[in-house]
A and B are shown apart, each in its own frame.
Chain A
C-alpha cells in the first residue's frame, strides 16, 4: 500500500493536449474516484498511473518511489479493466494465478492467495471454468479477483461496472466498497457515473478538459461546487441554472432574471457581490420546497410530472430556463398546475468564467 502523488502531469496525443498539468494526491488507503465526462482525460490519467502510457512531463510517485518512467510490471500495481480483459485460454484459477506465477511466487502461496481471493468474491465454484463460460457479473468478479490476489501498492479500476445491468451494478458497487474497507488498499477508480463517484469515494477528483476542476470529499463537492461545470456534473437530476444579474435592493442583494427575484445572502457570497454582475443562479432540484404559507414565492408551471415512488419530479420553466423541482412523493401534482416554490439554498456562478461566488 502506498500514497499516490501526481504532480504537473501532462500528456499529448498528436496535437491534442489530453492532460494539461494535473495534480492529484491520494493518501495511503484512500479510495479516490476520477470522474468527468468523455474526453476529460480521466482514463488517460489512469493509464499513466498504470504505466500503459508515458507522460510527456510531470511526476508520478507511489509512496516515496518515483515511478513516472517505470514499466507497468515494475510499479507493483493491479488493475481492473473496463472490458475485464480475462485471458480467454486460461481457467478462472489460472487467470487469478497468472500475475503471481509471473512473479515466481511459491506454488503453495499461489494456492493460498487464489483461495483467499476466490473466497472473498465467491468464485470457489467457478475456478475450473473458462471466461466464456461465465456471466457478465461473474467475469467482473474474476477481474476483481485477479487484482486483489496480488499485494499491490495501488489498485486501479477503469469503469469496471459499465458493462453490468443496473441492478447488478448497484450490488457490485457496494461489494467494491466493502472489499476496499476490508483490504484498506489505496485505490483509484475511473467513472463517468456520478452515483458511483459519490457512493464509492473517500475523495473525488472532477476532471474537465484535461484539468482537475475540483477535488475533495464527495459531499463537500456536492454541497459546495467550485464551478458551474462541477455543479452540473454531480447530482441527478442535474442542478437547475438560470442566467441573470446581481442587484442591490436597499441594504440587501438580489438575483434578478426575467421576472424572477431571488434574495442573496451576503455572508455566503461575500466578496463576489457587485451590482450588475452577470451571474448564473444554480438550484438543485432537492433544494426546492413547496411554499406552504404566503410570502415571496416563485411560480413553477408544471409541464411534466415524473413520479418515481420515493420522490416526484415536477418539470417546468422559470425565467425562460428549464427547471426541475423535487417534491414529496405522495403530493398529487398535475400537468398544468402552478406550484408556489421557494429555494432553500442557492448557488451563484460567474456567468463568464463559471466559478462559484461562494466565499471559500
Chain B
C-alpha cells in the first residue's frame, strides 16, 4: 500500500519538479523576453526578462500590410489564414483518405495487400524534400504554384502513408467482436463501421489528424519552394524572412514565433479531451 509522503518528501519532489519545468521552459521564456525587448540585438541574459519592454516587434509582425493589385492587404492575416486553411485541409483530406484505407488493411484479406503496405512503407524512406523539384514541375504544369490547393495536395500525399499506418494499428486494436455484435444486432458492415468502429477509434483519429495538421503547419522547405508571392506564404516561410543573409531581425523572429505558436497551443488545448486513450476500455473482457 502507498503511504502518504512526508512534508519533506513532498517539498523535495516539488523542488525537483520546479527545476525540471524551469529547465524545459527556459528557452521559451528567453524567446518571450526577446520578443518584448526594445533593444536592437539579443544579449546573453541569465534571467529572461525583456529589456526596455515594448510591443513594437509584435505589432510589426502582426500588423504587416502590403499592396496587392492596388489594394492594401493585411499580410499577416493572409499568411495565418494560408497556414490554417492548408493545415486543416491537409489533416482533413489525409484522415479521410487514410481511414478507409487503414480499415481495409486492418480487417480484410485481398490480393496485393502486403505489397501495397510495403510500397507505402517505401514512400516513408524518402524525405519530402527529395521530391520538391518534381512536385514544383507538376504543380507548375497544373497551374497550382502559389496556391493553397497545390500545397494541400503535396502535404496530404506525404501525410497519408503515416496516417494509414497509425490508423491501421488503431483499427487492429479494436476487437472484431464489436463489429460482429453490431452486425448481429442489425447493422450493415458499413453502419457497424460508422456506429461502432469510428467512435472507438476516435482518440487515434484525433491524434492522427493532429499530427497531419502539425506536419503541414510547421512545414517549411516545400512551402518555400512552391510559394514565391508574399501574400501566399505560410507562417514558417514568413518567419524565415526575418533572418536574411546579412541581417537577422531576432526580435521580430521571436515575436513571430510566439504568434505562430498560439494556434497550435489552442488546438492542443481543445483536442486534449479526444487525445485521452482508453476509450475502448471495458468494451470487451478484462
| Given the contacts A83-B284, A85-B175, A134-B282, A78 and B182 also touching, CB distance less than 8 Å | no
**Are A86 and B284 within 8 A (Cβ)?**
yes
**Interface contact B184-A131, CB-CB below 8 Å:** no
Q: Give 21 A-B contacts (CB < 8 Å), ordered by A residue.
A: A50-B180, A52-B180, A52-B184, A72-B184, A73-B187, A81-B181, A82-B285, A83-B177, A83-B285, A84-B283, A85-B178, A85-B180, A85-B284, A86-B283, A87-B200, A88-B280, A89-B199, A89-B202, A89-B279, A139-B282, A146-B185
Q: Any chain B CB within 8 A of the CB of A12? A: no
Give the shortest distance, in Å, between A15 (CB) and chain B (any CB). Answer: 15
Report which A residues bind B (CB closer than 8 A).
50-52, 71-73, 77-79, 81-89, 98-99, 102-103, 130-134, 136, 139, 146, 150, 163
The answer to whether B186 and A131 have CB atoms under 8 Å apart is no
Let me know if A131 and B183 touch, CB within 8 A: no
A83-B177, A87-B178, A102-B191 known; A50 and B184 CB under 8 Å? yes
Query: Which chain A residues lie closer than 8 Å to B279 at the CB level?
Result: 88-89
| A71–chain B nearest beta-carbon distance, Å | 7
How many whole Å from B6's CB to the nearest CB in chain A?
34
A50 CB contacts on chain B under 8 angstroms: 180, 184
B contact residues around A72 at 8 Å (CB): 180, 183-184
CB distance from B170 to the nearest CB of A (A): 13
Residues of A within 8 A of B111 (CB): none
Closest to A129 in B: B282
Sort A-B residue pairs by CB-CB distance and give the 6 closest, nearest first. Answer: A132-B282, A88-B283, A99-B185, A85-B177, A102-B186, A85-B181
Give a binary string over B165-190; 1 marks a CB under 8 Å from any A CB, 0 the rest: 00000000001011011111111100
A6 CB → nearest B CB, Å:
18
A51 CA to B283 CA, complexed, in Å: 22
B281 to A132, Cβ gap below 8 A? yes
Known: A71-B183, A82-B285. 15 other contacts (CB 8 A): A50-B184, A52-B180, A73-B185, A73-B186, A73-B187, A79-B181, A81-B180, A83-B284, A85-B175, A88-B280, A89-B199, A98-B182, A102-B187, A132-B281, A133-B282
Is B260 in contact with chain A by the CB < 8 A criterion? Answer: no
Give the CA-CA distance A52 to B278 in the complex, in Å: 27
CA distance A82 to B182 in the complex (A): 15
Q: In whole angstroms, what is the CA distance A351 to B161 when docked?
A: 61
A139 to B182, CA, bound (A): 16
CA distance A153 to B280 in the complex (A): 30
Q: In the bound complex, do residue B284 and residue A73 qualify as a contact, i.e. CB atoms below 8 Å apart?
A: no
Cβ-based interface call for B196 (8 A):
yes
Tell me the complex Cα distance, A150–B187, Å. Answer: 14
Smallest CB separation, B274 vs chain A (Å): 12
A86 to B281, CA, bound (A): 10
Are B283 and A52 in contact, with the CB atoms below 8 A?
no
Write out, one digit per residue, whether chain B residues 218-229 have a CB within 8 A of any chain A CB (1) or not (0).
000000000000
* B-side contacts of A89, CB under 8 Å: 199-200, 202, 279
Q: Which residues of B contact A133 (CB under 8 A)?
A: 282
CA–CA, A98 and B202, complex, Å: 19
Are B282 and A86 closer than 8 Å at their CB atoms?
Answer: yes
When C-beta atoms are compared, the residue in chain A nearest to B181 turns out to be A85
If the complex has contacts A73-B188, A87-B196, are A131 and B282 also in contact, measured as CB distance less than 8 A?
Answer: yes
Contacts of A79 in B (CB 8 A): 181, 184
Closest Cβ of chain B to A127, distance in Å, is: 15
Alpha-carbon distance between A86 and B284 when the two chains are bound, in angstroms:
6
Of all chain B residues, the one with the shortest Cβ separation from A104 is B186
